[in-house]
């Protein structure tokens, strides 16, 4: 494994480091709001490698690097052909000679790990089929900003047991919040991730009504993740009982916030009424990708000031 500061999955991090990064994110957000420059990464270049589409991840990393005085380079797999035109081993070695860090979004977590192994620069995971650690880290920032104590709340996730859920379970292992996943049988979170969470306040509750009761954070995501498009029709038949709608939301804590990593499929996993309702903070959440990831970048690329 390389010695660099990789951000591959939240299960690699203890709460002390996550707290430090969350505090740094708040500092950087505050500075940006006050128009105070924070050129911690002046002259540094981040490569952005995408094997799947993106709006938020691409733009927030690109703008984040700019706000920190650095630069980002967008690279598509059509050029690189990771593992096809060239081995991950060689790509990692070559990119390490040009760049100061790489953010990669791809399918298999093993590809990200292999890239990290063969790179001497930090690798940041911008989503795999298994996890989405940057998103959940930034969601912890949004949760904290809304006045919630990460050791005292109940977080409920309705829908598919996908990469978002796995990273939320990893976060529940670092903090002490209760995490309840509610989805249909056959669509549970990753078994190894669940096994690691044994003894933590993590559970599966099939009834969405029971699961959401008293929750302070209510989360949902697409029923069909990138790469699963062929299953979309089948999934549309299974997931409707887990739709986040006003009737279900009434059972949560009245002060609950609604989160969605986006993109949303309005009328499927979430209704317009909830998405645009007073409890929804989904666009603040999207903005926090920028501020949270600036903290990850500053930490990983060496401008963290430690």
Whether residue 173 lies in the annotated active site: no
Tokens standing for residue 90: 């060689």
Pick from 11, 106, 119, 225: which binds ligand NVA (CB under 6 A)?
225
Handedness of CA 246, 252, 258, 260 (dihedral sign): negative
Tell the smallest beta-carbon distance from residue 226 to ligand CP (Å). Answer: 7
* 116 and 123 Cβ atoms separated by less than 8 Å: yes
What's the closest the beta carbon of residue 162 comes to ligand CP, in angstroms?
12
- Taking a C-beta distance cutoff of 8 angstroms, is the pair 88, 118 a contact? yes
Q: From the candidates 132, 235, 260, 291, give the one annotated as an active-site residue.
A: 132
Residues 40, 260, 289, 291: which is the catalytic one? 289
- Name the active-site residue from 67, 221, 260, 291: 221
Q: Which is nearer to ligand CP, 96 or 109 (CB)?
A: 109
The sign of the torsion formed by the CA atoms of 190, 191, 192, 198 equals positive
* Partner touching 115 among ligand CP, ligand NVA, none, CB below 5 to 8 Å by kind: none
Question: Of 55 and 108, which has the nearer Cβ to ligand CP?
Answer: 55
* Shortest CB 234 distance to ligand CP, Å: 22
Mark residues 13-52: x for contact with ligand NVA by CB under 6 A, - for none.
----------------------------------------
3-class SS of residue 296: helix
Contacting range for ligand CP; rule: CB under 6 A; set: 37-45, 166-174, 259-267, 292-300 = 259-267
Give the integer Cα–Cα distance in Å for 272 and 218. Answer: 15
In the annotation, is 138 catalytic? no
Q: What is the rounded CA–CA span in Å between residue 47 and residue 73?
A: 5
State whether residue 92 is helix, strand or coil: helix
Q: What angle do CA 170, 76, 290 make, to 5 degrees?
A: 50
For residue 284, what is the enclosing H or E element? helix 282-300
Q: Which residues are the active-site residues?
A: 105, 132, 135, 221, 261, 289
Contact residues toward ligand CP (CB under 6 A) are 54-57, 127, 135, 261-263
Query: Residues interacting with ligand NVA, by CB under 6 A?
Result: 127, 132, 162-164, 221-222, 225-226, 261
């Amino acid at each position: 494994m390389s010695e660099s500061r990789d951000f591959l999955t939240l299960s690699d991090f203890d709460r002390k480091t996550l707290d430090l990064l969350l505090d740094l994110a708040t500092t950087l957000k505050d500075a940006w709001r006050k128009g105070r420059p924070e050129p911690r990464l002046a002259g540094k270049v981040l490569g952005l490698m995408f094997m799947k589409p993106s709006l938020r991840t691409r733009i927030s990393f690109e703008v984040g690097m700019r706000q920190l005085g650095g630069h980002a380079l967008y690279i598509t797999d059509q050029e690189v052909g990771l593992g096809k035109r060239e081995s991950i081993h060689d790509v990692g070695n070559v990119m390490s000679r040009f760049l100061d860090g790489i953010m990669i979004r791809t399918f298999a977590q093993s590809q990200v790990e292999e890239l990290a192994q063969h790179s001497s620069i930090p690798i940041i995971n911008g989503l795999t089929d298994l996890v989405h650690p940057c998103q959940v880290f930034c969601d912890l920032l949004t949760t904290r900003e809304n006045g919630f104590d990460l050791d005292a709340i109940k977080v409920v996730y309705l829908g598919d047991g996908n990469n978002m859920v796995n990273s939320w379970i990893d976060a529940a292992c670092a903090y002490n919040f209760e995490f309840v996943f509610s989805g249909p049988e056959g669509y549970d979170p990753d078994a190894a991730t669940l096994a690691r969470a044994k003894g933590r306040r993590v559970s599966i509750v099939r009834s969405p009504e029971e699961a959401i009761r008293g929750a302070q954070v209510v989360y949902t995501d697409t029923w069909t993740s990138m790469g699963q498009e062929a299953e979309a029709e089948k999934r549309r038949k299974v997931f409707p009982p887990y739709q986040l709608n006003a009737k279900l939301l009434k059972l949560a804590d009245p002060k609950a916030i609604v989160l969605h990593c986006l993109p949303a499929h309005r009328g499927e996993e979430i209704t317009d009424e909830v998405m645009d309702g007073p409890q929804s903070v989904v666009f603040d959440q999207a903005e926090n990708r920028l501020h949270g990831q600036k903290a990850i970048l500053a930490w990983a690329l060496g401008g963290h000031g430690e």
